[in-house]
Structure 1
Amino acid sequence: MISRSLLVKNAKFRLAIFKSSLFYQSLLQRSNFLTSSHPFSPSQESHIPNLANHKDWLSPNETIKIFQSLKDPNFTLPLFNQISQRKDYNPNEALYSTVINKLALAKDFDAIEALMEKIKLERKCRLSEEFFVNVMKIYGNLGGRINSAIKTLFYMPSYKSWPTVKSFNFVLNLLVSAKQFEVIHEVYMGASRLGIEIDACSLNIMIKGLCQCGKIDAAFAVLDEFPKQNFRPSVRTFSTIMHGLCDRGRPDDAFGLLDRMERDGIEPDAITFNILISGLKKSGRVEEGIKLYDRMVIKGCDPNPGTYQEVLYCLLDAKRFVEAKDFMCRMIQKGVNPSFESYKLVIQGFCNENLVGDVEWALKQMTRQGFVPKMGMWKRIVQCLVSGRIESTIFPYEEIVGS
């Protein structure tokens, strides 16, 4: 599925994941996290409780409350340095999580990485998978440090905690969201090193990433892996590939997948039909898109608001404006509001055909929805009313020509 050249290209990345202990050593040397207090001015010091000489015994819960009450997260590091030097320092997962979350608020991601190394060396408590998933979320979603999230996943055994497919899939999805497509396969191939058995969700994430980077044929290869792994693809699996095909102007291949779904006994849903209707419209095959809607209804698949909007765009592209008006009426009756763009296009169509009454209907409907016509639309409406020489309930002809 992935060429050998890609594996060679990313050899350095694999080494960074599995053999980069020097990364943490250099990080610890650069920071004073374990060896000295964090530098802060005397004015800042007054805002931090002095716990170095605090004689009362502090339980883990009391320590957590101290961090939770800390108003400025930038003081988290010096405070933790004080506490970690005390004789009653007995951290647990809750304390580590609290400190890490506070450091995340301060956007001090270097300190988080150093703290993670300190935790590994201390081995004070057993950490859950949820703890590591939270750290990976902070790295990936807040810090933009995708590599750090990957390293956290693969270094979990160093903390005597083995990841499951849950944390593995989280990192895969993180990579897809960050569009780091060349790295996804590297991480995917590392599942066996962690003793992880991939599941259907893993394959779906791979398909999503491959489709987004345009490797549709590779996505089909992953689809073929489902029966080999004793998994059953879902409707979302097929819809993802269909979306990739339609985006690249291959709606016929997408319909081939629809036939395959039905043969496998997987019922398409409204999202599936929406993708296909939109794909036909993008390819200029609007009449087929409208017919597909009829086929959808006959099959007993309930349309959703997206379905109605896609069919409406097909009618508008086909310049069937009177039918579009009737369809909009049906949408409104079902509580589905047409988009502003729909009103803009249908008004332009009515104006081109001098259907003044229909122009007024569309204008009233869009204002009821809270849409405000723009200046260009107003000019087009006025031109239509003037050229039609027809009295309007909105603009009397005398007022228009006299203005």
Structure 2
Amino acid sequence: MSSTLRLAEQLISRPSVTPDDAGCQALLIARLAPLGFQCETLVSGPDHFRVTNLWAKKEGLRPVAQAEPAQGAIKSIASTASPKTLVFAGHTDVVPTGPLEQWHSHPFTPSHQDGLLYGRGTADMKTSLAAMVVAVEEFLAAHPEPELSIAFLITSDEEGPATDGTVVVCERLLARGEVLDYCIVGEPTSVSQLGDMIKNGRRGTMSGKLTVKGVQGHIAYPHLAKNPIHRFAPALAELVATEWDQGNAFFPATSWQVSNIHGGTGASNVIPGELVVDFNFRFCTESTPESLQQRLQAVLERHDLDYDLKWTVGGLPFLTTPGALVDAVSGAILLETGLQTELSTTGGTSDGRFIAKACAEVIEFGPINASIHKINEHVLVSSLDPLKNIYKGVLERLAGVAPMAAR
């Protein structure tokens, strides 16, 4: 059994349903502390929802700069620049199992069948965490004092409300002036083969709760009432037909979708007094929350609606354009798998939206995502060590120790 598989199984064995870390981070600390990582545990949230977060960092050596030739000789001098920092980010919490009787085996007892490793969190995202840790162990064994700082940012509140997890750690890091240069979030991004897709950004998310006010009355006397459903219908048609933006080279166009409409008393002879509409924007970098709010409210005003509207911005879009991190990840994938990876910004939100506020370059990369959150979640056992090798390859490239042909 490989070290990656062994650690993955140990993590999967812990029933860490949000927000319970169930000892996963203690297991990671036991591996990282002997490598020289300074480990900080931050517990956050109310008593009924205690979240465990881990920030672990090993400082790298200051890079060596080359002095100008002096009397025909070139000598090395210590640079005043701090080493770059690469962060491995992820979560130890998992979603609930669902009906136990529908699983091939107990979801918190790792099992093997037909080359697959089964268990809750196998794909999302305990195998990523295991691969990251083992990659760092192997990298530091070969390069004990790299010119690269390495850190881990781990939370037990990614699958939940995400209010006391990564966002809290990032706020603390910003407050004390920590500089983060690169971050790999271990989300399961691969589609058909390991490495065929990485996420170099995500759309923002903003929800609204609209209450359209009317006047309740008897359905036989509509002239004495004001039906909010009828009054909202033309505005709804206009909103559905609106092109909010056209997207760009990295993002699809912004999408507006209604998720719920509630109106009526349940009686067939009563015109309702109000209509409640829940909707969501998934927006790209071509739009802002403010511009979308203004445009939507202009439609409501144009249709002379009496309404209340409450907004919730769940996260802003972020984008990492091709550069040092994208090159390092795509190069490591190509060397390990032979695949030219695809850059994508599709899908839902992730903790990358919080990290991007504190880190210049953020990408997401991990195993195949076809079974995440499903009964019988699984990964290919044969993909675990290649995943570890890719993470190690990124370390080598960013630390400048990879062979030139492999960079």
Q: What's the TM-score bracket when you normalise by the shorter of the two chains? A: under 0.3
**Structure having the larger proportion of residues in helix:** 1
**Structure having the larger proportion of residues in strand:** 2
Scaled by the length of structure 1, what TM-score is found?
0.21
Larger Rg: 1
Higher relative contact order (CA 8 A, sep 6+): 2
Scaled by the length of structure 2, what TM-score is found?
0.21
